[in-house]
A and B are shown apart, each in its own frame.
Chain A
């Protein structure tokens, strides 16, 4: 059980807006630590999607956006496209754990 909680799945029709939440606590997101998001297609390696809460690496479409407030972070996909169907993971730092990285359990995005 991860210290970062994500919904197992979200879905939306093409063109719609979907959001994925990443809920933490005072020892991680609530402490001000940054949140990063990764996208993973079946059978492939994860890819960095959002870094530093809201920044997109070069090549990531601007329909992906990230935000953070309090003990939670969110990833929004606007204008949902069929090729956005994938698993999405949030990642942060937790002061109660031994290492520098902790991941959420992941959210499967399904395009209806």
Chain B
């Protein structure tokens, strides 16, 4: 079974840094693109960042570009999100999500987000 387990969340002061990890198992990690999606308390889902299977293609949401860095280690089956210069508005549960693997939009080449981790809470507060 596909498993995604996030870790690394916690309380951090504004301006601080945090590194999130997502440990993947149950599938060939190096074959799939991965994403980070966040959800602020009581709010909806916000896509944060995308990384292709070979790390050659990376995208960020405008709200985090220049502050967050996504990366992956296919030898360790792990996805990361380095978050710098954190702001109060970055407070959220952060989910790692894998593309579904069975359907591709023929216009974009992207898939649905078929698998999600349980999330890790990041709180930015003084």
Q: What residues of chain A have their CB less than 8 Å away from a CB belonging to chain B?
A: 2, 31-34, 36, 38, 40, 44-48, 51-52, 55, 57, 87, 89, 91, 93, 98-106
In the docked arrangement, what's the CA distance between A34 and B99, Å? 14
The prevalent SS among residues of A at the interface is loop
> Can you give 24 contacting A-B residue pairs, CB < 8 Å?
A33-B105, A34-B105, A34-B108, A36-B112, A38-B45, A45-B119, A46-B45, A46-B113, A46-B116, A47-B116, A51-B103, A51-B111, A91-B112, A93-B110, A98-B60, A99-B59, A100-B108, A100-B110, A101-B47, A101-B113, A103-B46, A103-B47, A106-B44, A106-B45
Contact status B50-A104, CB under 8 Å = no
Give, as a whole number of angstroms, the nearest-CB distance from B67 to chain A.
14
Give, as a whole number of angstroms, the nearest-CB distance from B41 to chain A.
11
In the docked arrangement, what's the CA distance between A80 and B112, Å? 25
In the docked arrangement, what's the CA distance between A102 and B45, Å? 9
In the docked arrangement, what's the CA distance between A46 and B59, Å? 21
Q: What residues of chain B have their CB less than 8 Å away from a CB belonging to chain A?
A: 35, 37, 44-47, 49-50, 59-62, 65, 95, 100, 102-103, 105, 107-108, 110-119
Contact of A101 among B65, B107, B110, B117 (CB under 8 A): B110
